Amino acid sequence: MNAIPTPDHLVWTTPSPVSNATITNGHVDVNWMDGKSHRFHPFWLRDNCACSDCLHQGTREQLLDIRQVPLDIVALSVSRDDEGAVKVCFSDGHESRFHPGWLWFHAEQSWALAPLESIYWTQSSLTEPPSFDGPSAMSDDAVMHEALTAFEQHGILRLRRMPTERGTVESFALSLGPVRETQFERVFNVISLADADSNAYTSDALSGHVDLPTWEATPGIQILHCLENSVEGGESVMIDGFAIAAHLKNNEPEIFEILTTVCWSHSSRKLDTGYRWRAPIVEMGPAGEFANIRLAAFSRDPLQVDSALVDASYRALRRFLDLMEDSRFRMVYPFAPGDLVMFDNRRVMHGRNAYDLNSGNRHLQGIYLDRDSARAKRRVIEQQQLRRSISEVQAK
């Protein structure tokens, strides 16, 4: 589809045509018609050559061993060819052609095709999960794309009017990506049990928590699908852990500092399961972004920290718990049969109000995925839409 190769399978548009390109100290300067200009490093360009010597044309995997490229390589000349490619001759004798749109996106964005930015929410900014018609999302990629976008931004999504058949949650999950199995059942049933081995399987209230903080590899996504709900009470409670973290970062930096550095261990309480992991309640990513929230009061282990930090650690934990109970941070809504709620289990803490066992039946089915699959599905839809729209333009 691209006449000019790129080191991937992707379609790249060109937001602005190239005005001209020049060499400065061995680097390539590209000036665009819209007035922007970008400088490209010669080693970087050489590394990304997409010719058949440097890149396997089928698998799009690199063949070039970059250890063989001189670190002091320079661009000797730059020109544009008839197809619009930016053509560069290097001091190692190699010649490469670059797609202008591919160049533009890699220079202009900090991370091409990055995850969407989180939008933190509170009770006042988001009173219920972003909601879409389930059957439409399943049949129309444009609706699914909108739904997955909302999910990635808010960490929560509700599809309504889904079938109320058992197993629906698994077929939906598989439309996104592989299921994440855990020590629970692949598809687990949330109902009230007489011999519950966890409060989850009673009719008691459940305070906000993430599932499986006991794993280093805590599943990134949880989906709960309501088959039946005729009980009084049992409303879902959702809390944006990133919103609480942002609030504390801005307003109570000493508390925030403790939450991002003091490690708490969580362990599975079931006899003869040995899952156990330790990490800060708020884990930060390499770019200073919020990466994970890890807290479940009922599987929290004894604090093990330098004695000088015990007071501050409990103070920070209690402050976080207080904000979780603060109505400003709590989204509370009922589950209707056919509702499927998908949430980021490493960001959004979930809980429920108690319900009256004698007032009716309540049956949810749940499953886990990883965040990667929801992002991947969104990107695939975007690429397919882009390919379609380019084909349509070309067909005219």
In our burial notation (b when 16+ CB lie closer than 10 A, e otherwise), range 202-229 reads: bbeebbbbbbbbbbeebbbbbbbbbbeb
Q: Does 288 bind a copy of itself (CB under 8 A)?
A: no
Q: Candidates 116-124, 130-138, 353-361, 372-380 — which segment interacts with a copy of itself by CB under 8 A?
A: 372-380
Q: Does 215 bind a copy of itself (CB under 8 A)?
A: yes
Task: For residues 269 and 271, give the distance between their C-alpha atoms in angstroms, rounded to a whole number.
Answer: 6
Smallest distance from the beta carbon of 391 to a copy of itself, in angstroms?
Answer: 15
* Residue 315 contacts residue 262 (beta carbons within 8 Å): no
Long-range CB contacts (within 8 A, 24+) of 276-280: 276/214, 276/301, 277/213, 277/214, 277/215, 277/216, 277/218, 279/213, 279/216
190: closest CA among 241, 227, 145, 218? Answer: 227
Q: Candidates 229-237, 327-335, 353-361, 369-377 — which segment interacts with a copy of itself by CB under 8 A?
A: 369-377
Contacts of 290 (CB under 8 A, 6+ apart): 118, 241, 242, 245, 246, 282, 283, 284, 347
Site string for a copy of itself, 74-93 (x = CB under 8 A): --------------------
Q: Does 118 bind a copy of itself (CB under 8 A)?
A: no
For the record, the structure tokens of 110 come out as 């900090």
Among positions 3, 33, 193, 196, the unique one binding a copy of itself when judged by CB under 8 A:
196
Question: Which CB sits closer to a copy of itself, 64 or 126?
Answer: 64
Q: Does 175 bind a copy of itself (CB under 8 A)?
A: no
Site residues (CB under 8 A) for a copy of itself, limited to 255-284: 261, 263, 265, 267-280, 283
Smallest distance from the beta carbon of 75 to a copy of itself, in angstroms?
Answer: 14
Among positions 12, 43, 172, 329, the unique one binding a copy of itself when judged by CB under 8 A:
43
Question: Which CB sits closer to a copy of itself, 271 or 395?
Answer: 271
Site string for a copy of itself, 152-171 (x = CB under 8 A): --------------------
Task: For residues 374 and 274, give the distance between their C-alpha atoms in angstroms, rounded to a whole number.
Answer: 29
Q: Does 252 bind a copy of itself (CB under 8 A)?
A: no
